[in-house]
Each structure stands twice: as C-alpha cells, then as structure tokens.
Amino acid sequence: MSGPTKVDDTTAAPAPARKRRSGTIPARWRWIALALLLAAAVYAPFQLVPFHVFQLTMVLVYAVALLGLNLLVGHAGQISLGHGAFFAIGAYTSAVLVDRLDVPYLLTLPLAAAVAFLVGFGLGVPAMRLRGLYLALVTLAIAIFLVPLLKRFEELTGGSMGLTLPKPVPPAWSGLAEDQWLYFLALGVAVLAFLVAASLLRSRVGRALHAVRDNEIAAEVMGVRLSSYKTLAFAWSAMFAGVAGCVYTWVIGFVSPDSFTVNLSITLLAGLVVGGLGSLSGPVLGGLFVMFVPSISQDINDAAPGVIFGLLIILVMYVAPQGLAGLAGRLIKKIPRKE
Amino acid sequence: MAGFLQQVVQGLGAGAIYASLALALVLIYQFTGIVNFAQGELAMFSTYVAWQCMAAGLPFWVALPLTLVVSFAGGMLIERVIIRPVEGAPELTIVIVTVGLFIFVNAAAGWIWTFLIKDFPNPFPGGALELGGVSLSFSTLGVLGVVALVMGLLYLLFQHTKIGLGMRAVAANPASARLVGIRVGWTLALGWGLAATVGAVSGVLVAPLLFLEPNMMAGVLIYAFAAATLGGFDSPLGAVVGGLVVGVAETLAGAYVGFIGSDLKVGVPLVIILGVLLLRPQGLFGRAAVERA
C-alpha cells in the first residue's frame, strides 16, 4: 500500500474522520494474510454444520452492506441512519423479480444493484445538499417511511405477509449442499464487492472522498466537486447495500417489511462503528459483530444485544475511533519487526 | 366543515405532543449544536419512571414532579458523563454517540421493564367539550394547555431570570460567555437537564394515547424532527409552531388524501423535512447560519 504514513496516535478528541488507514503492514504480509483468510473461508463450509454455515453466510451479507455504508460514513464522512432502506430495496428487487417475473436469481443481482444505485442517486441529489446532521435526519425518515410503503404496494410486494421464494438450487456439477452453495454465492459476491471497493478507494475517487471527509473547503479549492462526489458516494453505498439485500433474499428465501425496520439501519451503523470506520477490514469485523453478538447475548436477555451495542458504540467513539479494525492495527504495529 | 374542523383539532392535539418533543430537541441544539437522536428514548425512559412511581402507589400528581426532577438530574448527568468527552468533536462523532445512547436507553428500558405493553393512566378527564359540532376532548385540551404552560415557563426562564440570561449568552457565544464569568459547562448541563424535563412531559403526554412500551417514542421522534426542522432548530417558538403545523398537516393528509391514508402518514414528516431543507434550510423562525469561508 502507500508509503510509511505515520499515524499520529496522540488523538486529542475522538475523531474517526481524521484518522488514516494505518499503512504500516508491509504489502507482502497483507497479501499472505488475505490469501490465508480466503483459504480458510473456502475451507470452512466443509467443516461446519449447516446452521453455522448459514451464520457465516449472513456475516458475509452484512459485511457487503457495511462495506457500502463504510464508503459513505467512513470514507466520505457523511452520516446515514437509513441504510437498511437500501438493503430492503435490493432484497425486494430480487424477490419481486424472481417471484413475479421468474427472472433467474443470479440475474437479479445486477438488477438489484442497479435499482439501489438509481434510488440512492435520486435521493442523494437532494440529500447531499444537506450538511451531516440533516442528512442523518432525512435518511432516518426514509428508513421509517419505507416499511409502510412496502406494505402499501401489496400486489407487488406481498404486503405485510411478504414474499416467500424458493431458495437457489445448487447446480449438479458442484456437488454442494444448499447451505454450502449459498455460502459460496455470498462469498463470491463479498470478494467481488471488496475488490470493487478497494480499487475504488485507491483511485482518484477514493482520494477525492477522503479529501471531502477531511476538509470540504480545501477539497473544493483543489477542484473536487463536492456535490457530485457526495451524491455518487451515496449512490455507490446504496448499491452495495442493495447487493447485500439481494444476497439476503437468496439466503433467507423470504422478505417482509418488518425485516427491514429502522432497527436494521441502526444496527448496521452500530456494526460499522464497532468494526471500524474507514478501514477495509472494519466491515468484516462489523459483520461478525452484527451476526454473533445478538445471537449469543440474547440468551441473557432480549434487551442485552441493544445494551451491548449501545455501550460499545459510545465506548468505541471515546477510546478507539477506528473500531476493532483500528485496535487490531495498533496491536500489529506494536509487534517489533525488522525494517 | 365541522368534520374538517374536527380533523384540525385532532391534528393540533397530536401536534402539541410533537411540539413538546421538538422543544426538547431545540433546547439542546440551541446550546450545544447537537441534535440529540436519543431525545425520544430519554422521554420514554422518563415515562417509565413515572409509571414505576405510580406502580409503587403514588398518585399521578406526585409521580409527575418526581419524574421531572429525576429526568432533570438524568439529563444533566448524561451531559456531564457521556456528551462532555465529545464536546467539539466532529458532527459525525456526536451523532454516533447520541445514536449509541438511543440504542442503549431503548434496550435498558426493555431490560428493566420488559417489552410488554403497559397501560398508562390519562391524567385528564375523559369527556369532551362540544363546540359548534366540533368535539374538543379534555385530553386534547389538556395536552395543548400543558405545552402552552411549558412554553410560557421556558419564556419566563430565558427572558426574566439571571440563569436564563446566562443560558442565552452561552447559546450566542460560548467563548465570550466564559470570559464574563458564566460557567459554560454547567450551563450546557442545565440545557440538557431542561431538555430531558421537557421531553419527560412529552413522554407522559404520549403514553396514555399510545401505550407505554420501549419503542413508543420512535414514531414520535421523526415528527418532532420535522417540527424542529420546520420551525428552525434554534427557535423554541418555531418548534412549537412547527409541531402544530406538522400535526395538522399529518392528520389532514391522512384524512383527505386517499392515497396517503392512515398508513402512509409517516411520509408527511419526510416530505416536510426534505422540503424545508431544500427551500428554507434555517426553518421558518430560525436564523440562517452565516459561515466565514
């Protein structure tokens, strides 16, 4: 990655927006670590029981959604409290296409991505004229409004009953079980999404977004068109959420308005903050978090996940504004190594 | 015509509740520039405190002041403990912290009092006043009266007391206020305490109409946001006017626009927020922010 960018560890105020990726791990090690991770990810479904494979699949789904949210929040510095809405749009696009038009399910992925992108762009044009706070308000209002809207267009969306769909059947040549096939579909989409996001961020676009996040005025002076980059960031991030929603539909085989309440949006933001704003590994850690913390802590009390999420978010903003990913990065830096 | 007036009255009743929560939002925004996403949840928590007091056998009119005192202390405590460390941090950080507070308070209430719906007694008598074919229920009148009272008290506090003067000074210019000897930190805490108290009033007003449960205020919050946006985030009067307008607009849209109906009414605040932000971002009564670029 980039050269030895010194990261200043003496942050006075917890400011996630100001920190940079810690580019201190040598590129070679990064690739090896990534390859090992991918190998483990490919190996895992053959060793786990179907329920655990399903859980890992959902981690990947959330990771893709968080990747999109991260583009917007972590990299462009804009707040969205309504990303569950784009997740829902992707999920419903896929479901409606399969259910009403008999479109092959794999084909629904690009279509869901396109629809989410367009909706995100359409909403982004007015929303991005707003400063951070108001954007949070508008996106929150969108997320709240979506549920009754989905219920209203009953003939298309199945109303509050939702739509039940057949799950994708694994092709005969693969020899995989259903849960394994779904897992590999999700893994494929996730890897693709990460590649797209990583190359996007390394390009001119990524630099422009970081400039907007760090100092809007300076960015504008340097020739970055604020409104168009913010709107595009919003649209891209909506697209990733829509892709995640589409895979969600494949995996769950059922969509209903009540799966996509405001809680989903808030949980996504919580997961991202805890996982790590502005880093590429943050969304994966956030996905693990969103999936496993509720399922483990729910045994204590129905409210336990919320208490844990809420406390952790506040705590993370105080002590580790880069989330778990940032903490991991800091630990790695502590390991002495030869230059 | 009477039917129309009836809808307007009903809208005013709902609007008064939105206004009270919007007032709480505005109080905090004025002093700290923070939009507190947890305001509704704090109000809900206060309502549970009132419920708990009554469950312990206290009459409503004893439980209410007790709740207000607890809310005031709670609001100050939250400012001191949770908000203080991120004072002056980027907006993103602050919004995320208040969202964290939102999740935490919501879940904490669910943990303590479970997610089961609870009945909350209506402090106002049940009947209605018939006026030219329009029935004004005592409950609606009571809600309007309480909001007017709160507004009046705040006006007195801000305009006619030394504390209020200090608070206005902090809102106008914290640095200068500090230089003339006002304890800015405590004034901010006072602002949060006041906001929590006003929020508690709105929670207690909502609970008899909606049933008490941890997610009670989630629906109200978005209307309060719309009200505060419409009135201007830095104007208490605007919050009240905005609340009433939003309430009436929502009720009329639900009643007379066939496509919207009662289920899509929640789109009204979204349209209002977007419309105001695009056409007049400072709101009806707010001051336009002037920035030195």
Contacts of B220 in chain A (CB under 8 A): none
Of A15, A137, A314, the CB nearest to B82: A314
Contacts of B263 in chain A (CB under 8 A): 148, 151-152
Residue A334: the pLDDT is 67
* Most confident segment among A24-28, A301-305, B287-291: A301-305
Residue A42 has pLDDT above 70, yes or no: yes
Tell me the CA end-to-end span of chain B in Å, nearest whole number. Answer: 52
Give percent above pLDDT 70 in chain A.
88
- Distance in Å, alpha carbon of B281 to nearest chain A alpha carbon: 9
**Is B258's Cβ below 8 Å from some Cβ in A?**
no
- What's the rounded mean pLDDT across residues A242-259? 87
Residue A190 has pLDDT above 70, yes or no: yes
Cβ-defined contact of A130 to B226 (cutoff 8 Å)? no
Residue A14 has pLDDT above 50, yes or no: no
- What's the rounded mean pLDDT across residues A111-116? 89
pLDDT band of residue B113 (cuts 50, 70, 90) is confident
ipTM: 0.84
* Half-sphere exposure (Cβ direction) of A80: Cα atoms closer than 13 Å: 37
Cβ-defined contact of A269 to B226 (cutoff 8 Å)? no
Contacts of B100 in chain A (CB under 8 A): 270, 273, 309-314, 317
CA-based nearest residue to A127, from A284, A18, A277, A238: A238
B155-185 tens-digit pLDDT:
888 888 888 888 888 888 888 888 888 888 8
Residue A108 has pLDDT above 80, yes or no: yes
Residue A1: the pLDDT is 36
Give SS3 for A163: strand
- Distance in Å, alpha carbon of A250 to nearest chain B alpha carbon: 29
The letter for the amino acid at B215 is N
Contacts of B225 in chain A (CB under 8 A): 137, 140-141
**Is B274's Cβ below 8 Å from some Cβ in A?**
yes
Number of A–B residue contacts, CB under 8 Å: 157
Residue A3 has pLDDT above 70, yes or no: no
Residue B97 has pLDDT above 70, yes or no: yes
CB A105 within 8 A of CB A94: yes
Cβ-defined contact of B110 to A302 (cutoff 8 Å)? yes
**Is B92's Cβ below 8 Å from some Cβ in A?**
yes
CA-based nearest residue to B265, from B283, B277, B247: B247
Provide the mean pLDDT of chain A: 79
Residue B67: the pLDDT is 92
**What is the CATH class of B2-279?**
mainly alpha
- Tokens 């919320």: give the residue: A306
B257-283 tens-digit pLDDT:
777 767 777 888 888 888 887 787 777
pLDDT band of residue B69 (cuts 50, 70, 90) is very high
**H or E element in which residue B128 lies:** strand B128-131
Give the Cβ contact number of residue B218 at 10 Å: 18
| Chain B (198-227) residues lying within 8 Å, Cβ to Cβ, of chain A | 214, 218-219, 222, 225-226
The CA-atom distances, in angstroms, between A112 and each of A142, A144, A149, A254 are: 18, 21, 18, 16
Of B91, B226, B263, the CB nearest to A151: B263
Maximum separation of any 2 CA atoms in chain A, in Å:
65
Cβ-defined contact of B225 to A304 (cutoff 8 Å)? no
Mutate to test the interface with A, among B25, B84, B92 (most CBs of A within 10 A): B92
Instruction: Give, as one character, the DSSP assignment of residue A167.
Output: P
Residue B72 has pLDDT above 90, yes or no: yes
The CA-atom distances, in angstroms, between B118 and each of B48, B113, B196, B204, B211 are: 9, 9, 22, 13, 6
**H or E element in which residue A197 lies:** helix A178-202
Residue A120 has pLDDT above 90, yes or no: no
pLDDT band of residue B71 (cuts 50, 70, 90) is very high
**H or E element in which residue A38 lies:** helix A27-43
Residue B205 has pLDDT above 60, yes or no: yes
Which residue blocks in B33-121 are alpha helix, DSSP H?
39-55, 60-78, 91-113
Q: What whole-number distance in Å separates Cα of residue A42 and Cα of residue A58?
A: 15
Distance of CA A15 to the CA centre of its chain: 21
Residue A86 has pLDDT above 50, yes or no: yes
